[in-house]
Amino acid sequence: MQKLRFAIVGCGKIAPRHAAEAASRGQLIAVCDIVPARADALAAQYGAKAYYRLEDMLAEGQSFDLLAICTPNGLHAAQSIAALEKGIHVLCEKPLSLSSADAKAMMHASEVNDRRLFVVKSTRYNPALATLKKKLDEGSLGKLYSFQLNCFWNRPAAYYSGSWKGQLALDGGTLFTQFSHYIDALLWLLGDIREVRGYRKNMAHEGIIEFEDSGVAAIEMENGMLGGLNWSVNTFQQNMEVSLSIIAEKGSIRIGGGYMNQLDYQLVEADPLTVPAPGQANDYGYYKGSMSNHDKIYENLLIAMQDASHPFANALDGLKTVAAIEKIYKAVSA
């Protein structure tokens, strides 16, 4: 098979992860950013062509096969659709979009143009999470009773300064930008959400962000499980934890760590979980993000491009996460 030719739009914090993997597994042909210096720097590193407007790059889109979208959340839908309509496959960073309507429009563009639309769900490759998924799929925990998902990170005022982050139209909210990977993990492991009730507030970022920095929700899943979701970006000085506890008929398990990457507790009837050593987080200097799994993203992307049955996060997975966050925000009073 001929190597895939990649392009990237958005040369911010996550773009170097994409660039390194694209270049190592194919060819990085072009990069684009509205800040010329950022596009020039990434292009120079990989011998790619720099663009400063997506329209210009797409006008020459026949030179590449797949576009990785690494721009602000609120731009994902329009940019994905533009690429798909030019006959280009898309790998979109999380979240797929900021509304279910936009996600469905993206899926329609993918279908009518016969191009593939994927979304980055890197947390699914965390060893602890993947091991727990296997155990749940086997049914060895018996009936599932309840869960608790805690997402406690630190995002100071400096993180939002001069950035699209914190702006409702481009960011969407804390569950979209900081914690959508963990909402996806909840759905991936336990199924869809039936009902939500709760509260959200801006406790420490008044005048800095246009939405909540903290929230709490009581959730009933479609399978009958009851659970709680707590989220905050106000932990003191550094990230605290992202943890998921599951209480079931034949065991209790908690995976945690800074980004749902380690086994914290288990007492099970049979076959305890054996979890490989945790990997490292995406490190952006003064703050850390989710676990760095873009190597696995691109490894599985290449397989999925050849085999449509390969389990790799697609637009429907992205839509489910967006719809769940919409449901939470609609039900959780501000």
Q: What digits encode the pLDDT tens for the residues 42-66? A: 999 999 999 999 999 999 867 899 9
- pLDDT value, residue 279: 60
Per-residue pLDDT tens digits for 100-110: 999 999 999 99
Average pLDDT over residues 310-333: 95
The C-alpha atoms of residue 251 and residue 272 are separated, in whole angstroms, by: 9
CATH 3.40.50.720 intervals, the chain: 5-121
CATH 3.30.360.10 given to domain 123-291+313-333: yes
Q: Name the residue type at position 333.
A: S
Residue 198 near residue 218, CB atoms below 8 Å: yes
Q: Is residue 115 scored above 90 in pLDDT? A: yes
Q: Using the 8-state DSSP alphabet, how is residue 280 labeled? A: P
pLDDT of residue 328: 98
Where in the sequence of the chain do the CATH 3.30.360.10 domains occur? 123-291+313-333
Ramachandran region, residue 252 (left: φ > 0; alpha: ψ -120 to 50; beta: rest): beta
Please report where in the chains the tokens 């970022």 appear, as a residue.
205
Q: What is the DSSP string of 2-37?
A: PPPEEEEE--SSSHHHHHHHHHHHSEEEEEE-SSHH
Right CATH for 5-121 from 3.60.15.10, 3.20.20.100, 3.40.190.10, 3.40.50.720: 3.40.50.720
Tell me the backbone φ, ψ of residue 98, rounded to 5 degrees: -110, 5
pLDDT for 222 beyond 70: yes
Instruction: Please say if the pLDDT value at position 181 is more than 60.
Output: yes
Provide mean pLDDT across the span 176-189.
97
25-48 pLDDT, tens digit each? 999 999 999 999 999 999 999 999
Q: What is the pLDDT, as a whole number, of residue 144?
A: 98
> In which band, very low, low, confident or very high, does the pLDDT at 334 lie, cut at 50, 70 and 90?
confident
Amino acid (one-letter) located at 51: Y
Per-residue model confidence (pLDDT) at position 290? 52
Average the pLDDT over 297-315 and give the result. Answer: 93
Q: What is the mean pLDDT of residues 161-172?
A: 97
Q: How is 84-125 classified by DSSP, letter by letter?
A: HHTT-EEEEPSSS-SSHHHHHHHHHHHHHTT--EEE--GGGG
Q: What is the mean pLDDT of residues 219-223?
A: 97
Would the pLDDT of 227 be above 60?
yes
Once rounded to an integer, what is the mean pLDDT over residues 146-150? Answer: 98
269-272: long-range contacts, CB 8 A cutoff, minimum separation 24: 269/140, 269/142, 270/140, 271/135, 271/140
Q: How far apart are CA 334 and CA 330, in angstroms?
A: 9
